[in-house]
Structure 1
Amino acid sequence: MLIKSDKSCKYGDQALIEVWQQNPTDKLWIDFNCHDRDEERLYLTKLGCHALAISDVHRDRHPPKIEEFDNFIFMLYRGIYETGTDLVFDHLQIGLFVGENILITSHARESISINKLFSEEGQKYLFKSSLTLGLRIFHYSCGIYLQQLFDFEEKLEALEDKFQEGGDDKMMQEIILYQSRLTKLKRTFNYHRNIGDELKVLVSDDDSSIVHISDQHTVTDVHERIERLLSLSQMHYDICSDLINGYLSVASHQLNATMRVLTVITAIFIPLGFLAGLYGMNFDYIPELKVAYGYFYLLGFMALIVVALIVFFKKKRWL
């Protein structure tokens, strides 16, 4: 995408690079989409990109980062190839080389944000500056994350209401799964926050030829969106933790109540079992065996023990 000084726009292939090199005041966006890496490396090297930055963008997996070089600001972040439901994202590593009048994007698969902005919507941002367009690509990806978190918030509220009616193991497995996904998102957003913090520093740097004070609003907007993503993911994570802890507490309380009842029953039957075992022994001489009403006396005594223990447990509030 080549934007001329008269705001006219051209789309094309690598031939536009030569056109831009003849008039570097024009604005150029080069998007390497699923491109051959050797050929891409050759182009990036000719355009003045640093070899280490090129190696980072060609890695299959690299933590998001931002670095400033002589001619470019290099940003690497986790974009989105495809979204699912319930915080499921098919992540995509996107590299941005931001020059004074040039933006280069590199990604191994289709990107939702780049496909969205490689159109008339992206032309107005590129005309302002290459950094504005690069930040808007980043901003759009953050917006997709944000919408998914908003949708998840409604589901989480429904889970909370359902939990009040009575949780079960299946619900806990679902919540633990969400907590795991939120942990991964928090890790990504923490990396992105570092990018936002570094951009704010670059805006205040008078020596930077790429980032200007006019970009402060865009940088602040991106930084605030990243902070919101981080705070929302942390809040949802805390809610999931509270639900899990609440379920475990309720389950523990129910288990304690059950064990208390079983313990009381055991305590009642121990003396009864002792008396039954005592008079069940096979000795020839047991004096009580000759008592005419000994059987009834023993049953009455056993009943008295049961009543006395029940009264005792009631007073102790164990029942």
Structure 2
Amino acid sequence: MIRSILATPNGNIQEGDEQLFDQWKVVPDSHIWVDMQGETNECVQQLLERFECHPMAIQDAQKERHPPKIEEFDNHTLIIYRGISSFDAKLNFVPQQVCFFIGERFLVTLHSGVAMSIERLFNEHGRTLLALSPEQVALKIMYTSAGYYIDSLLEFEEELSDLEDELLDNGNDVLMRKITAYRSRLVKMRRVFSYHKGITQELTAYDYNHLPRENSETLHAITDVAERFERLYTLTQMYYDICGDLVDGYISISSHQLNITMRVLTVITAVFVPLTFIAGIYGMNFEYMPELGYRYGYFFVWGAMVGIAGVLIWLFRRKGWF
């Protein structure tokens, strides 16, 4: 699907398809936004060549999985961004690559499926921003996408809080598997946000021709995007650390409970070892054992065994071992 928005200097806004390219070409100072969703490589290449995009940029954009990056060319700036097509509070997210070709008078967005942030901007504020400049639209798309991430992460914070309470009250292996799954998803998200954080740092540090920082509106938009991705990276790292603390806490509690159990078993073993020793001696089948002929030997041995057990139990209780 190819759709376009054309903003002319006199304030007229038109919506259509790639046919608006010809009109944009002949109207000076007009801005066009072309959004391509799920188009074939041949169609993408033909359209991008009409905008005189660099062949290397086109090649990078057509790769299914390319790390997020920003690269400047003579006629445009390429931003490869990892957007989302779905995301929920349990960190189940489906990422998709979104490519921005940002020129002085044009913006081309390229993605394989439905992009939530692009859909929202295309139907709401995209026209107003396009009238200002194409880079405003691209930065707003990234800003909106980051907002979806933040909303879901904040919902996950409530899920994580409930999970923490449940783990402390009744920890089990099922909860541990859930926490481990969350940690794995957070690692993937942190890697994506690390890329995006690097992109915004470059936008903040270097002056790209097609994203001019001397324009106060563009600089403000870049700063907003940078702050959002900095917050996303920080939140992801914090939640990852919390999950790690929960795992460590559960392991510590399990180890403590195991130590208590082992201590009780050790006390029982320590009590019965001398008793077993005595029983083993008098269970030997030697013919000449003086104590066997003693009239009160049986009661004497029982008394000695009870006395030893009582002394050991008193000693262990005094030391607080059980």
Normalization by structure 2: what TM-score? 0.95
CA distance in 1, matches of 2:163, 2:18: 52
Matched-pair identity in %: 44
Partner AA of 1:310 in structure 2: I
Partner of 1:281 in structure 2?
284
Deviation by residue 1:6-37 (Cα, 9 ceiling, x = unmatched):
22111112211111111241010011111111
Normalization by structure 1: what TM-score? 0.95
- The structure 2 residue matched to 1:196, chosen from 190, 194, 200, is 200
Is the Cα contact below 8 Å between 2:81 and 2:99 reproduced in 1?
yes
Is the Cα contact below 8 Å between 2:89 and 2:153 reproduced in 1?
no
Partner of 2:294 in structure 1?
291
Partner of 1:211 in structure 2?
212
Q: Tell me whether 1:41 sits opposite 2:41 in the alignment.
A: no
Is the Cα contact below 8 Å between 1:186 and 1:233 reproduced in 2?
yes
Shift in Å, 1:162: 2.2
Shift in Å, 1:154: 1.0
Q: Tell me whether 1:258 sits opposite 2:268 in the alignment.
A: no
Shift in Å, 1:164: 2.9
SS at match of 1:284: coil
Partner of 2:310 in structure 1?
307
Shift in alpha-carbon separation, 1:99–1:303, aligned structure 2, 3 A: same
- The structure 2 residue matched to 1:104, chosen from 92, 101, 108, is 108
- Give the root-mean-square deviation of aligned CA atoms: 1.4
CA distance in 2, matches of 1:209, 1:297: 101
4+ residue segments displaced more than 3 Å: none
Partner of 2:246 in structure 1?
243
Shift in alpha-carbon separation, 1:133–1:50, aligned structure 2, 3 A: same
Partner of 2:275 in structure 1?
272
Is the Cα contact below 8 Å between 1:72 and 1:210 reproduced in 2?
no
Partner of 1:164 in structure 2?
168
Shift in Å, 1:156: 1.1
CA distance in 1, matches of 2:28, 2:100: 19
- The structure 2 residue matched to 1:129, chosen from 121, 130, 133, is 133
Partner of 2:146 in structure 1?
142
CA distance in 1, matches of 2:231, 2:69: 19
Shift in Å, 1:73: 1.2
Partner of 1:186 in structure 2?
190
- Structure 1: segments with no counterpart, 5+ residues: none
Partner of 1:3 in structure 2?
7
Is the Cα contact below 8 Å between 2:91 and 2:182 reproduced in 1?
yes
* Count of residue correspondences: 316
CA distance in 2, matches of 1:147, 1:210: 27
